[in-house]
Structure formats: structure tokens, C-alpha cells
Structure 1
Amino acid sequence: MSAQGPVLILVGPPGSGKSTVGRLAADQLGVAFRDFDHDVEEAHGLPAGELVVQLGREKFQESERELLSAMLPRFTGVLALGGGTPTAPGVPELLEPFHVVFLDVDLEHLLRREGLVPLHPWLLPNPRAHLKELLNTRRPVYTQVAAATVPTSGRRPEEVLADVLATLPDTSD
């Protein structure tokens, strides 16, 4: 584990609970919380979804990688990455020194998450098909970059939090 950088990084699809569980974990650990999508929006003045449309996927992912590369050595709290961030070229390598947890959620629970589609308009016109494809293509990447996978489907944030915290390495040595 790296001496500098986040104590915990959460990855997973939109709606998996990264921000909710991330805030709870940060509170429990007594550290700061950051939502990487917010950092991207702050850096560019546009929400990530609009930025993808404006820049194109390749340029957007380059921007994400650069921003993440600059942030990782300086931020020592809990970081929730954007759903697509781990899929950007070079990002899996950036994540290697850190403790990453994949918050896994099934399609049916994602579809029931209130407000998911309005927040991610690129899911339209067929949210089920888009989310199914997203899960199928991203799940192997999430699994690759994560030290642990914690299921979130049908579970309360506090239950997920307990499992996430249990994956943290013991630093009492």
C-alpha cells in the first residue's frame, strides 16, 4: 500500500453507492471524502456526461487520467471514482498502489435506483439495454483494479460500509 494517496478508492457503475458509502467510510475513518465526478466537473465547468459529449470519449478519458494522476499523490482520504474512470487507458496502472474496492450491483437494483436515468441521460432511450452493456463491459475492469468486491444489491449503506471497512489492510503494525 502506498504511503501517500487515498486510504480507500471505490469503483463501480453509476448507482452502485460509491458516493453514499464513500461519505460514510470517510466519516468512520476520520478522513476527507472526494467524488471524482465532482472534481472533473469543477476542473472543466461541465458535468462529466456533458463533457464526454463535448470532448469525445478519448479526450475525456485523457482528461480524467491527467486529473487523477495529479490528485492521487496529494489526497489522503476516501475517493469515489466515476463509473467509467477505471476504464480509461492508464488508469488501472495509476490505481495499483492503492486499496480499491469494487461496489458491485446487479442490473435489477440499478434500474430501481431513483434518479439514476435523469442523472445519466446517455442511458436513454433504453436504460435497461445501456446498463446491461455497461455492466458487462466494465465489470471485468472493476474486478481487475479492485482488491475486494462488495455486493450492494438490496443492502443498506451501513451494511455495505461494514464489508468495505473489513477489506482495509490492518495498519497497526
Structure 2
Amino acid sequence: MPRVVLVGPPGSGKTTVGRAVADLLGVGFHDTDAAVESAAGRSISDIFVEDGEPAFRALERAEVARALAAEPGVVALGGGAPVDPETEPLLAGHAVVFLDVGIADAARRVGFDRSRPLLAVNPRASWVRLMGERRPVYERVATHVVDTAGRPVEDVAAEVVGLLGAPA
């Protein structure tokens, strides 16, 4: 079972903070989006374009279920993963940290480029809409909420580790 699971919207720092938390804890880091891309042999954007969102979500759902059962370190979920009705209940019993962020910081971090298919058209409005839909789920599944806005990665990672009861 993972030591901690990170959830949040695009640009919240799940991958960057996740790696830093894993380093502080001395455990491995696993990004479910990267695992899906590796298994599929193509980017998430390509999967969306070639196979559609339902195909991507099925791959994501399977990878998240596998990671939650088998990965012992820090696991970062894709932004939409917790919203899946089959995935949300799998998060029960895990230490889940919602990395919260506002649009200004998210835009600076990800630039809203074309590699994010759900943000390809009108990225800022799409991010705000997605966050409005997803925030209640992120808050519901979270054991802890950490605001990442304007904060250095090291500070956010140290707060996450502290919330887990481990020395940073």
C-alpha cells in the first residue's frame, strides 16, 4: 500500500512534489499518468486523440487500481483519476493529500499547452470548469489538504511529510 497518494488538478505539483516527498521519505515514486503512457507506448494526448477519453480512462482506472494495491511509496494520480466512480472508493483507507492550487500558479507551472487534452480549447476557462467539477471529489477523498500556491516545492514536500507523521 502506498505511503501517500497525491491528488489535485493539473499544475498543482503532484509529480514534482511527489518526487520530493519520496526523497524525504526514502521511498519510490510512481506517477500513474507516466505509467499509462509507458504501457501504451504513447502520450496521453495521443491516446485521447486516437482512442478517445473513455479508452484513456479505462487504462487510467486499471493503472490506479494496480498502483493503489502494489506501489509502496508515493503515488501521484492523474487529475481526473479520483473522479472516476470506480476509483474513488479505492482511495478509502489511504493517506490521500489534495495538493490545492489556484489558476495563476497552475498556469505558470503547466503553461496550458496542448499536451493536456482537456485543456486544449480555452485552457483557463477549461481549468476553472474542471476544478469546479473536481474540487468536491478532491476534498472528499483527501485525508489532508495542502495549498501549493506560491510555495517552493521543498516547503510543500516538508508539509506533506509532516502531515504523515514522518520527520522531514
TM-score for the superposition, normalised by structure 2: 0.90
Query: Per the alignment, do residues 131 and 46 of structure 1 end up closer, same or farther by CA in structure 2, a change over 3 Å counting?
Result: same
**What amino acid does structure 2 have at the position aligned with 1:129?**
A
Quick check: 2:32–2:67 contact (8 Å CA) kept in 1? Answer: no
- Choose the corresponding residue for 1:32, options 25, 28, 35: 28
Quick check: 1:104–1:151 contact (8 Å CA) kept in 2? Answer: yes
SS of equivalent to 2:97: strand
Q: 4+ runs of 1 displaced by more than 4 Å?
A: none
- Choose the corresponding residue for 2:155, options 118, 140, 159: 159
Moved more, 29-38 or 122-131: 122-131
Distance in structure 2 (CA, Å) of the matches to 1:144 and 1:21: 21
SS of equivalent to 1:90: coil
**What amino acid does structure 2 have at the position aligned with 1:31?**
V
Distance in structure 1 (CA, Å) of the matches to 2:120 and 2:37: 21
Identity of aligned residues (%): 45
Q: Is residue 2:71 matched to residue 1:75?
A: yes
| Structure 1 counterpart of 2:99 | 103
Query: Per the alignment, do residues 9 and 128 of structure 1 end up closer, same or farther by CA in structure 2, a change over 3 Å counting?
Result: same
**Superposition deviation, residue 112 in structure 1:** 2.2
Q: Is residue 2:121 matched to residue 1:128?
A: no
**What amino acid does structure 2 have at the position aligned with 1:167?**
L
| Structure 1 spans left out of the alignment, 5+ residues | none
**Superposition deviation, residue 136 in structure 1:** 0.6
| Structure 2 counterpart of 1:148 | 144
Distance in structure 2 (CA, Å) of the matches to 1:139 and 1:114: 19
Q: Is residue 2:33 matched to residue 1:58?
A: no
Distance in structure 2 (CA, Å) of the matches to 1:82 and 1:154: 21
| Structure 2 spans left out of the alignment, 5+ residues | none
Quick check: 1:9–1:99 contact (8 Å CA) kept in 2? Answer: yes
Distance in structure 2 (CA, Å) of the matches to 1:144 and 1:49: 28
Quick check: 1:37–1:47 contact (8 Å CA) kept in 2? Answer: no
Distance in structure 2 (CA, Å) of the matches to 1:19 and 1:100: 14
TM-align CA RMSD: 1.7
SS of equivalent to 1:73: helix
